Every structure is written in C-alpha cells, then in structure tokens.
Structure 1
Amino acid sequence: MDFTSPSPALKDNSFKMMSPDASGTSHNEMESSNQALKNLKRDLHKLNEENAELQREIEKLQEEIAQCSSKPLPHNQHQIKKKVAEMKLNFSHLEEVQGDHPELDTHCGFDVATKIPFSLKRNEALLTFEAEEVAQRLIKMDKYTVDLDSKTAEIRGKPTALGMGVKFELHVTISGRKINVSEVPELPIPEEWMRDKLELNFQKSEYGGGEVKDVCYDKQSGAAAVTFLRPGAANSFVRRAKYPFHVNGHSYRLSVSPDTCVHLKKLQVYGGISKKTILLQGIPEMEDDEESVEDMIKIHFQKPSRGGGEIENVKYVSGQGVCVWFEEDTSNSM
C-alpha cells in the first residue's frame, strides 16, 4: 500500500457526502481515524523491514550457492568433503546379488541424513506440535496473547526456516572371504614368518577359521588382511571382536573385523521450513527458570480453544543463545 499516491476520484453512487459538522462526527472520532491510519503505517513499515531482512538472507544464500557452483573440482579429484554432525544410519534393505556364489558377500543399504543446526536466540522458543495442521494454523494467526505467570505478553509466531543439510544412500558390501586384523604384536621376527604364523593361526577350525588363500601383513601398522579360500568363511568373524593368536609360547588377542566396501550414492542437499515447528519471539524477561516458562507456553498452546493442540516438544532460551538440531523425517522434530 502506497500512502503517497494521489487519492482516487470520488464518484457519486447515490451516497451523499456530508461535512463533519453536518453529520455530527465528533472531533474524537476524527482523531481515532487518524490514529488508526498511523498504526497502519507503522505496521506497514515494520512489514517492509522484515521483508527487506528476508530478501538479504535470500541474496546471501544465492551468493553462497553461486560460489559453490563456480568453483571447479581439482584435477583428478571428484570427491566432496564436508564435516557433518554425528548421525545414525537407518538400515534400508539387503540387496540381492547375482552370481555363482551369492553367499560370498553381504550387500546392504542405509539411508543417511545429517541433522540441521538452528540458532535459537535469547527469549525465543521453538514449539513443535504432533499435528502439522496445528502449527500451520497458529502461524497464520501471527500474534498470540499469552499469560506467563503474572505477565500478559504479546508473542509473535513465525515459520522455522532451517539451514542446509545433506542426505545420501550408503551402500555397504561385507566380504564373505576377507577379514581385517589389527593389534598384531610386534615381534623380533621377519615379516614373512609373521605372515606364515597368521596363516596357520587362522586356519584353525576350532576358532571358526578355514583354509587361507592369502595374508597381507604390514609390520609398521600392526595390521593384516586375511583372505580365505572357502566362500562365506569370513561370515563366522562378523560377530567376533577378538581372535586368539598363539606364537612363540605366548597368547595374544587380535582384533578382527569384516572387510567392507562403502559406496555413497544419491547425495542431495536439502533444507526448507519445518512444518510442525513454530518460532516464538518477543517473550518478555522472566524470573522463572526455563523449564517453568516452557511449561507455561505448553499449557497455553495445547488448548484447542486457542487454536492449539498436542505438543511434542518445547525449547525456550532465557540466556545466551543455543544451537538445536532438526532431523529430516516425517515429524520434522527437534
């Protein structure tokens, strides 16, 4: 709305215009109309400021994307390296393998998505609902009058705009013939002798071993790779963390693990707006602790009469800002 543009022409549509004196309009009513206009201008100015801030954020993200897109990869290097937060692997499926010996290797897939950090500032709160429609309804309301102990506060609600995360598929092949061995003791014998002793040791059937095809041993790292002849022989070591090793009259415990090959596929960058979480701003300074304020917020917004519903999580910060984490799932929970 542009308040500086010229006023449109008035057209007589059987309505008679009357002066304030003739209509009996009081001076107070005129002042009330002027005040309403001032309030409208103030709200419009505030909206314009918020819009400008959002536009700056969009331009900043566009610049970052453009910089990433314009940087060529180093010669003979086609890898993307990114530090990500600790994550859990969600098992997806076992993959069927065609071939003469399908029992040789185990193929499985995992769905992986990194958590997205969100900076929660002082006197702000994140409110996550169980139902998406509840959060969307409250966002449309924009402002809420909330009773916080002895205070009545006008709090604003905004969509929770998240940063960027990474998701991908992880395809893992577990060898049925080969295992990795570590913590091999350093002994004053040639490397060839150590390879022979490892081969003899892993051929013992009483410990789950079998006929060995090859042993690759590295004395400096104290590690070895043992390949068996029989298909599926390595599967007996999948649940075994330690393996006995007897040499020169001494007994040791070697660490064993299956040999794996990992492939990353369908790498995607994702982000967006949480559909179930709203950001509450304008919470006044409170003497109560954060947990008490969270309880008051929960009591207010869980009532259907106020447009609320069942709440999944509340996080309020009274002091220094904190970082919370979002996961990409059906609930978009914190």
Structure 2
Amino acid sequence: MSSDEDFSLITTTPPSEDTLEGIMASISSCKKQYNQLLEEQKDLATSRDDRRNLTKQFNQRTMKLNQDLKDDQRSHKDQLAKEQAKLNQLKEDENELMEEIRRVEAALKEQKAENKQLQQQTDVFTAVPEKKLVFTGLTGSADDTEMFQMNPRIVYPMEGGTALVTFEEEVVAKKILALKEHKVDLGGDCSITVEATPVHLMLPQLVEIDTDVCPRRILISNLPKGDTDMLLSKLEIYFSKSRHGGGEVEDCEMLPDSGNVVVTFVNKGIAEGLIDTEYHEVKLQTTKHKVRVTPFLNGKITNLETTTTACPRTVLLTGIPAVMEQETLQDLLEIYFQKNGNGGGEIEAFLYNPVGQQASALFVGISSEAEEEK
C-alpha cells in the first residue's frame, strides 16, 4: 500500500426503529439495559441487606456495650460503696484505736505519776534521819498498838483586860465557872469584879496531808553539837561547791526541835544528786564529819476536820481594869483564886494581859486528860 492511498471513515447507520430490525435491535438493547438494571438492583439489594445486617450487628453491639457499661457502672458503684463502707469502718476503728491509745496513755501517765509518788514515798521512808533506839525486850500484841496521835499547839489571842487561869484540878475550874462573877479585894476598900467564862478552842479532829519530795531542799542529819552559826556557815560553803555535787544556796537554817539542818538551793535538780549520794564528808570544826542527806518533804493539807472543845482546867477571866501595876494585880488575882473559900484551888499557870496590850497564850497537848498553858 502506497503512502498516498486515501482512507475513508466508514460509519454504521443503525437501522431505523420503524423497521423490524430496528425494533428488534431496540428490544435487545432494552433487554440488556433491563438485565443490567436487574443486576444493579440485585447488587443494591445485597448491599442493602449487608448494611442492614451490619446496622443490626452494630445496634446489638451498641446495646451490649451499653448494658456492659451500665453493669460496669453499677458494679463500680457497688464496689465504691463497699470501699467507702470499708473506709468508714477503718476510720471508725482508727478513732476507737486513737481513743483507746489516749486512754492507755492517760492511764500510763497516771500510773507513772503514781509510781513516781510511791517511789518518792519509798525513798523518804527508807531515807529518814537516823534515830538511835534501845530495845527493852518488851513486846505486845498488835491489837494493842496505839494509833498515830498529834499533839496540837494552839495559839490563843488574848484581849486586853483578861487573864487565863489553869488549875491543877478540873473540879476547881468547874466551881469557878459555876460562880461566874468574882469580887476580888484589892485592899484599901478597893475591889474589882471579874467574870469567869470557859475557854473554847478549835482543835483538829482529822488531818490528811499529801507529801512530796521538795526538788530544791535537802535535810541534813547526823550533825555534831556546836556553834550553830559556824555549823550553818560550814554546811553552806560545802554544799555550794559544784565539785561536791552542790550549787548556789538560797537559804540554810536549823530546825530547833530536831537539830537537823535544811538547805535550800536556787535551782532544782541539785538536791536529787546529793540525796542519791546520801553520806557526805564535811569538814566541821577541825575534823571531817560524815553527815547524812535525806529528802525534805513538802506537806499540803488535803482534808481538815475540826472540833470545838472547852478546856477542862482553864478559865478565862474578863473585865479586869488597869487599876494598878501588872505584877501586883496579877499576884492579887492569883491569891484570890488559890483560896478554897473563893471556890479556888492550886494554880498551875496564870497569864494576865492588861488593858491596851496584846498577848497570846500557847496551849500544848490539849486533851481531856492533859492540858498545859504558857
């Protein structure tokens, strides 16, 4: 074929629809379209069914997930409630335990305080100043043991123009009180009238005392006889030195009834160390002397019951004017109340306080059996 050959476009003209061939071709084309549409419809139906199934599955899954979520929430809520109940119970138990701990600590603190007090009492009872005793060989029944008794010392303030008379016999005092008024002859047609009244004293009937060891004081015993001022000075110097376990001394005094010495320190804690050592070699006079250091007790009255009693042998005379010298008037009064004709008797003690003066009488060992007046 040569290059200069000519090409021509051949077109196929579809048969006319007015012809049988055209109609048959149109029917064939419509059938193809119909079959194609059926296929598409079938595919769409299949896709629809698949989507419906998928939607159903999703709905079922969603319902299941929602139910599982509700179950989980309910379970979580129940578990949370249980845990909260456990927490509340644990808090309750903790509060009870804390309360129990506080009670135990309070009881322990109280027990420690009681033990400390008992220990102090034990230390005191086992470390009192020594006292030499002589056993005479006499024994007695425990039922016959006398109870502890205290001899009171009552200070009785006297008004001016009064006198106290203590007779040897109680019956004499009763006679004087029964007569009540007494006309005392002073000589020279001069006399005075005095009135006799009973002496009422308030006495302790029951005394309860709590004692504790003083943290700043010590009691020194086993001391030699000698000059008091020199002894106190030596003791103060010794116990003020730190090498002896002492410290700054605030006061140093001697107890007149026992002859023991009380040393008071400025600071606390010093007394305890000296008490633990107990015996100390102190240079007194020219030689060293072994003194004993024991606790000093502080006492506090916790219960006091009193009773009023009349002195059985003492009479109070009132209305005594200052008409002459004190000694002369006292002698005349004593003479009057010694005479049996005046209802008097033997006088044990006589104390006169003139008008305008102040005086106090000291009653020692007041009881129904014994009475003393100073």
TM-score range, shorter chain: 0.3 to 0.5
Q: Give the structure-1-normalised TM-score.
A: 0.43
Structure number having the greater strand percentage: 1
Structure number having the greater helix percentage: 2
> Who wins on radius of gyration, i.e. which is larger?
2
